[in-house]
């Protein structure tokens, strides 16, 4: 039983480091996209540093954390296999699958930006970054509350949170545009 508690603690630690990496990598993507819009002189200074920061974050923290989260998550689930009979676990694993898809899309964005290709605007990336926040809320509430009824209310709350975040992004964009005409 004590081994399970250590596994669960390690799983939670790597979930936290994985999310930290996901949150920060998209912030670096935003900086990279904005740096690509600068003068050649500014770009020559900013891009190598931003690319190096993104590369270290992605390969030293984010990818290893995602892999260890997956391994430890399966191990924890093995100890709590009875949870697979409960609907909340299916919903949680569905959100986790979406999170890994999010991670893979981030990897594609990472590769493009490392090659100086920006297919997303900084505003699109800001909105993209909020998806990880929504997934974090959904996964944590599901695993803590363990209730599908709570999932319904959680989805309503997530939709409300999504609307608030979108309004915040639009407001921030207007503030930035006024500050940098």
pTM summary value: 0.84
- For residue 148, the model assigns a pLDDT of 63
Angle at 148 between CA 146 and CA 150, to 5 degrees: 80
Q: What is the pLDDT of residues 107-159, one digit of tens each?
A: 999 999 999 999 999 999 998 998 998 899 888 888 888 776 666 676 777 77
Mean predicted confidence (pLDDT) in 27-49 = 96
Mean predicted confidence (pLDDT) in 60-74 = 97
Helix (H, G, I), strand (E, B) or coil at 122: helix
- For residue 69, the model assigns a pLDDT of 98
For every residue of 94-138, DSSP letters joined together read HHHHHHHHHHHHHHHHHHHHHTT---S-HHHHHHHHHHHHHHHHH
Give the CA radius of gyration of the chain: 19
Give the residue among 123, 124, 77 at the shortest CA–CA distance from 96: 77
User: In the structure, what pLDDT confidence band is assigned to residue 82 with cuts at 50, 70 and 90?
Assistant: confident
Weakest-pLDDT range from 50-54, 93-97, 107-111, 149-153? 149-153
pLDDT beyond 80 at 27: yes
Residue 92 assigned ligand-binding role: yes
Q: How many CB atoms lie within 10 A of CB 53?
A: 15
């Amino acid at each position: 039983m004590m081994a399970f508690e250590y596994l669960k603690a390690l799983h939670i630690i790597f979930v936290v480091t994985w999310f930290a990496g996901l949150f920060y990598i998209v912030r670096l993507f935003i900086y990279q996209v904005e740096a690509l819009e600068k003068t050649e002189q500014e770009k020559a200074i900013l891009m190598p540093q931003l690319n190096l920061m993104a590369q270290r974050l992605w390969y030293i923290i984010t990818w290893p954390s995602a892999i260890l989260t997956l391994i430890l998550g399966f191990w924890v689930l093995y100890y709590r296999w009875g949870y697979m009979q409960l609907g909340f676990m299916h919903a949680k694993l569905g959100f986790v699958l979406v999170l890994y898809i999010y991670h893979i899309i981030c990897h594609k964005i990472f590769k493009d930006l490392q090659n100086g290709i920006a297919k997303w605007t900084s505003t699109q990336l800001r909105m993209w970054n909020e998806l990880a926040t929504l997934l974090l809320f959904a996964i944590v509430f599901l695993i803590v509350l363990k209730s599908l009824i709570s999932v319904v209310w959680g989805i309503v709350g997530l939709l409300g949170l999504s609307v608030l975040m979108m309004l915040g992004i639009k407001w921030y964009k207007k503030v930035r545009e006024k500050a940098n005409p």
